[in-house]
Amino acid sequence: MLRLPLRADDPKSLDPVQGSTAYDNMATCQVYETLVQYKYLVRPLELEPLLLSEMPTISEDRLTYQFKLKPGVLFHDDPCFPGGKGRELVTDDVFYSWKRMADNGNDPKSWWLLENTIAGFDEYRHEQNAAVKEKKRTFDYDAPVTGLQKINDHEFRVILKEPVQRFMWVLAMFQTSIVPREAVEMYGDRFGRHPVGTGAFTLAEEDWRPGQRMVYYKNPSYHACYYPTEHMPEDVAAGRTKDAGKRLPLVDRLELEFFVQDQPMWLSFRTGKIDYTQVPDEYFDEAFIKRTKQLRPKYVREGITDQKVELLDFIFRGFNMEDELLGGYSEKQKKLRQAISLAVDLEEFNEAFYSGNNSVYDGPIPPGLEGYPPDGKADVSYRGPNLERARQLLAEAGYPDGKGLPRIEYYTSNASNNVEQTELFKRQLSKINIDVNAQIVEFSTLIEKVHNKKAPFFGFAWGSDYPDAENNLALFYSPNAAPGSNSFNYNRPEYDRLYERIRSMPPSPERTELYIKMRDMVIEDAAFIGSMGRTRFYLINPWLKNFKATEDFYNWPKYLDVTERGVYPSQ
């Protein structure tokens, strides 16, 4: 039996189309599955078939994808099926599940994943929702979509509007998981709490104890999935290759325990009640020697191991490029932003607030993705501290020694230690005589200000949805301007043209070159001050086997195994 922590309160819903957070993802993808998944042990991340018998074939023009479903994949046994026996997954289930993302009645959180992607799908969505709104009829799931073509029960084609590289990544995201129509129709509103999928584990409604835990059991009819043989060299030493070829899942029972506060999670780990823990910031010094970042000897003696993961974070302070004072693309306007950027010392933030554990880098592409600059340092860089150059650029911008520059309005949320961070930020900028008026507001107010383009300067963050820098570069694409994801309201036609090119390009050195060009373009324009990404540390109890920390996907409990819980080698 696995006992794993979920560092949050209950997931909101187990209906894939209603999920959005990492916690929803963790809870949902034990039960539901997507067409493709990430290879568990391979880094950088790669995709492999999950509900497919092989990866889809893609036409030369990259518009047509042909899929073959794996035969014999059964839904969990459930009263929604005749005789209570789960039936086989077929093409119609895939189309039905994706169409649910288009139905506003389902309160879908992730329509944007398929928006502007599949031929005829946006039109279908518009037409169906309009008909529902005008009370003409209910949402018609049987109506055809040009780009979704059934060949037979196990084969289908998807025609894209234009080549979109991210389509394959989207198919690995839990929101596109496949659900059976019978269950949705039978359970209605309760479907989000009564999951019926094809996943490695099943979850009964009564085993979801609100505010407490979720108890999953091994799916006895789980389709043939095996522990991977493909791995990285370090996996051998870590003992993660011993179960290669074994049928999944490896355990009979999985418990996800909810922890709203860090102390109970930490103490539960230390008493062996959970199998691993993330290391909360306030316990970092308890677990690691700060200087060397080595695990403390007492933990090593107990057989506890540690792992760390760099998150696909882009934490920044952004400028509204439409702002009269701080926005604009003229040389003087650019120099003002560059000067501000050069006055900020992100390493000081890192040391003061994150024990030096975060990664600090140039540009919007986080570590681990194509386009990330070597060692985080790009050729074009306005990362501080370089006060001399900052003062020079400030003078060239028309504000020698900061004279004549009005007080800058800076918005940030009141979450976490932002009050203290803002004090440091103000102090750093005061060194070049820039006066900041910090507005520390509720996160909702911050969003509202950014959406309405009322925040000239703001603290924000972006977590990549999938491991492709295209996702981050979309943040500067002008059609995505606020209230879209382009919070900077960045608008350069040349950048837009490049983005439209890379969107459809498969990975290649040529595409990486374009990523770098786009990255340097936004650095040169100094649309933001950045960047920073979090590093998450894990401690693993000695009885947990095969654990390889990741924050990019969450269906890995099926690969985990446990020996005797509570027995430490030192005992």
Partner 1 sequence: MWSYIIRRLIYYIPVYLGVILLVMAILRVQDPVAIHLGKNATQERIDATREAFGLDRPFAEQYATFLKKLITFDFTEQSWDFPGVTVGSMIRRSIVPSLSITVPALVLTTLLSIGVGMISAYFRGQAVDKALVFVAVLGMCISVLVYIILGQYFGAYLIYKKTGHELFAIQGYEPGLQYWAHYCLLPVMISVIVAMGYDTRFYRAVMVEETGRDYIKTALAKGVTKRKVMFVHMLKNAMIPIVTQVMITLPFLITGSIVLEMYFGIPGMGRALIMAVNSKDFPVIQAFTAVFAALFIVSIILTDVMYALVDPRIRLS
Residues that bind partner 1 (CB under 8 A): 9-10, 12-13, 15, 18, 104, 107, 111-112, 129, 189-193, 209-212, 258-261, 263-264, 267-268, 270-271, 273, 444-445, 447-448, 450-451, 483-485, 487
> What are the residues facing 458 on neighbouring strands?
318, 411
Question: Rounded to 5 degrees, what are φ and ψ at 308?
Answer: -135, 150
What 8-state DSSP symbol labels residue 194? S
* Shortest Å distance, C-beta 9 to partner 1: 5
Least distance (Å) between residue 445 CB and partner 1 = 7
Nearer to partner 1, 187 or 559 (CB): 187
Give the shortest CB-148-to-partner 1 separation in angstroms: 22
Q: Closest CB to partner 1 among 326 and 447?
A: 447
User: Least separation, in Å, of the C-beta of 268 and partner 1?
Assistant: 5
The closest of 224, 185, 214 to 78, measured between CA atoms, is 185
Q: Output 451 or 501, the one with its CB closest to partner 1.
A: 451
Q: Which is nearer to partner 1, 104 or 417 (CB)?
A: 104
Measured CA to CA in angstroms, residue 462 lies from 55, 227, 365, 484 at distances of 30, 33, 10, 13
Closest CA to 18 of 83, 90, 103, 92: 103
- Dist. CA 518–CA 371, nearest whole Å: 9
Q: Which is nearer to partner 1, 487 or 555 (CB)?
A: 487
Which lies closer to partner 1 via its Cβ, residue 274 or residue 321? 274
By C-beta, is 9 or 401 nearer to partner 1? 9
Contact 102, 124 (CB under 8 A): yes
Q: How far is the CB of 10 from partner 1 (least distance, A)?
A: 7
Nearest to 257 by CA among 207, 191, 193, 303: 207
Smaller CB distance to partner 1: residue 445 or 478? 445
Residue (6 or 51) nearer to partner 1, CB = 6
The least distance separating partner 1 from the CB of residue 263, rounded to whole angstroms, comes to 6
CB of 15 to partner 1, least distance (A): 7
> At its nearest, how many Å lie between partner 1 and the CB of residue 339?
28
> At its nearest, how many Å lie between partner 1 and the CB of residue 61?
30
Q: Where are the beta strands (DSSP E) in 168-272?
A: 201-202, 208-209, 213-218, 253-258
What is the C-alpha separation between 349 and 361, in angstroms, rounded? 13
- Output 76-80 pairs: Cβ under 8 A, ≥24 positions apart: 76/31, 76/196, 76/197, 76/198, 76/199, 76/202, 76/219, 76/221, 77/221, 78/183, 78/196, 79/186, 80/180, 80/182, 80/183, 80/185, 80/186, 80/187, 80/196
Q: How many CA atoms lie within 13 A of 423 on its CB side?
A: 5
